[in-house]
């Protein structure tokens, strides 16, 4: 008979579960037990499938990544890797593909966090970046050098909602023998599946639409196994592992992603059309509008009738008008991030893109008055009335 403390630590083994659980279980454990030292050796060497340590791999986290891969690639040929955040996914991907002396070609309209990573962190280790007008394929091709290691893109740019010419950019990358990686956070697999258009790796901040409820952070990378394995190695070394509880919430969010995304996109189109007619509005960025420069491109790449669920509004009056619009909203919440059930709005230059200097903001086409509105699940008319009354306050 063992002692009390030993019995407290080593309880009876869990009962066998012969029936499959309807919901995947949460493996809330840091480590896993082996039947023998030989089994441990085989798993650690990669010769046998298994689990050893949750910073390396966790069944709940991997189940989430597998589910996203299935959404991105219905043929099930793609694989996925889970991350603690979207930036963990982006940083691991770029570090996996670059080394000292490497060069990156990225859009001028790149997400502020990616811009900061490239200019503040990777630049310290000898990685250089050319930020180009990604809508000009000739300019993109001209920016590629012998040392270019990756072409980076965004399916929908933040916050201009510029649509990337995925086939055209993929051709440039592949002609140069480099991978084409896109951040598809603003689209989700419901709007666009980039792998079908020549993209090599797809990155998501799962915090947004995939999770869908603004209660969890996470990231994921999907693509061919050879490239994703390189990204996984960087994740393991850098420590950006997705925790099992967060993975559980993200997997739960995926179940309603198609329903939420379609409703949010439809509402966004309605809101964008209404705001485009308001006399206090200088510009509305949303690809559903026939006046948007990428309207036809979006129609060719995206699911029918879906153009994303972010609307960027630029009121007349400069920075003060943008701040006033954010301060005047009521139903829509003043909060960062996007993709949740609650609509949110931020003044872009002072929040999501605050790390970018004035020149970079101008190059990205971000006006001092720009306000990004993430459309949630509220009624479209309520959101229109909320934004309209906020616009009418500033004069």
Domain with CATH 3.90.1150.10 in the chain: 258-393
Strand order in the sheet with 201-205: 79-83, 219-223, 201-205, 180-183, 148-154, 103-107, 128-132
pLDDT tens-digit readout, 342-394: 999 999 999 888 877 888 888 888 899 999 999 999 999 999 999 999 999 87
Which pLDDT score is estimated for 87?
98
Which pLDDT score is estimated for 14?
84
Is the pTM for the entire model greater than 0.85?
yes
Instruction: Specify whether the CB–CB gap between 302 and 309 falls below 8 A.
Output: no
Which pLDDT score is estimated for 334?
97
Which pLDDT score is estimated for 353?
82
pLDDT tens-digit readout, 62-112: 999 999 999 999 999 999 999 999 999 999 999 999 999 999 999 999 998
User: What is the CATH architecture of 37-254?
Assistant: 3-Layer(aba) Sandwich (3.40)
Which pLDDT score is estimated for 395?
58
Which pLDDT score is estimated for 308?
98
Which pLDDT score is estimated for 193?
98
Under-50 pLDDT residues of the chain: none
Domain with CATH 3.40.640.10 in the chain: 37-254
CA distance 190 to 212: 13
Is 100 exposed, middle or buried, given 0-12, 13-18 or 19+ CB atoms closer than 10 A?
exposed
CATH class of the domain comprising 258-393: alpha beta
């Amino acid at each position: 008979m063992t002692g009390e403390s030993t019995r407290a630590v080593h309880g009876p083994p869990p009962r066998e579960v012969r029936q499959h659980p309807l919901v995947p279980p949460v493996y809330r454990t840091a480590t896993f037990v082996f039947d023998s030292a030989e089994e441990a050796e085989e798993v650690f060497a990669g010769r046998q499938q298994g689990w050893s340590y949750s910073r390396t791999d966790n069944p709940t986290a991997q189940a989430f990544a597998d589910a996203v891969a299935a959404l991105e690639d219905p043929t099930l040929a793609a694989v996925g890797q889970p991350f603690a955040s979207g930036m963990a996914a982006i940083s691991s991907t770029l570090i996996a593909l670059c080394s000292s002396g490497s060069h990156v070609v990225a859009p001028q309209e790149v997400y502020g966090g990616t811009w900061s990573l490239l200019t503040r962190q990777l630049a310290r280790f000898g990685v250089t970046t050319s930020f180009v007008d990604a809508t000009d394929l000739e300019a993109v091709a001209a920016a590629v050098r012998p040392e270019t290691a990756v072409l980076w893109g965004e399916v929908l740019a933040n916050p201009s909602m510029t649509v990337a010419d995925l086939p055209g950019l993929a051709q440039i990358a592949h002609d140069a023998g480099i991978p084409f990686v896109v951040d598809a956070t603003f689209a989700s697999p419901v709007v666009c599946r980039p792998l079908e258009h020549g993209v090599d790796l797809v990155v998501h901040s799962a915090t947004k639409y995939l999770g869908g409820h603004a209660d969890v952070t996470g990231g994921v990378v999907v693509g061919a196994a050879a490239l994703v394995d390189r990204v996984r190695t960087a994740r393991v070394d850098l420590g950006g592992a997705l925790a099992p509880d967060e993975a559980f919430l993200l997997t739960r969010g995926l179940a309603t992603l198609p329903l939420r995304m379609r409703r949010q996109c439809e509402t966004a189109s309605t809101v964008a059309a209404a705001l485009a007619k308001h006399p206090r509005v200088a510009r509305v960025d949303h690809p559903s509008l026939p006046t948007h420069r990428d309207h036809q491109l979006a129609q060719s790449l995206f699911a029918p009738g879906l153009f994303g669920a972010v609307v960027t509004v630029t009121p007349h009056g400069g920075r003060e008008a943008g701040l006033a619009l954010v301060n005047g909203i009521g139903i829509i919440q003043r909060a960062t991030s996007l993709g949740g059930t609650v609509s949110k709005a931020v003044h872009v230059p002072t929040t999501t893109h605050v790390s970018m200097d004035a020149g970079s903001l101008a190059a990205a086409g971000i006006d001092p008055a720009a306000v990004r509105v993430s459309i949630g699940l509220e009624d479209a008319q309520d959101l229109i009335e909320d934004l309209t009354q906020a616009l009418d306050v500033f004069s």
